[in-house]
Amino acid sequence: MSALAQEQERKQSIQFKQVLAATDFSTASAGALSFALAIARRYGSMLSVVHAVPSEPREPIPLEPLPRELNRRRLEADQQMKAR
């Protein structure tokens, strides 16, 4: 069997409809993107590239306890103690 016939047979047995490549913009991910692009071209696939950014809190979370006048639970407990 010729190399061309083998290649056509292999293309028929393996199909990639979609290829997904994740990137963090590093050198390694750029290399992986090159491979993903080559695979997509070879099989006529749709190539999707994704970059996810981890979420970060908008404001820092205070580590010290709330001031007494802002601590609703503490105020309610104090009121209940006074009522008894």
Give per-residue pLDDT as tens, 20-52. Answer: 999 988 899 999 999 999 999 999 999 999 998
Selection from 33, 61, 58, 57 nearest residue 47 by Cα = 33
CA neighbor of 23 nearest in space, from 36, 12, 10: 36
Percent of the chain with pLDDT over 90: 35
- The full set of domain ranges for the chain reads 1-52
Identity of the residue numbered 44 = G
pTM over 0.75: no
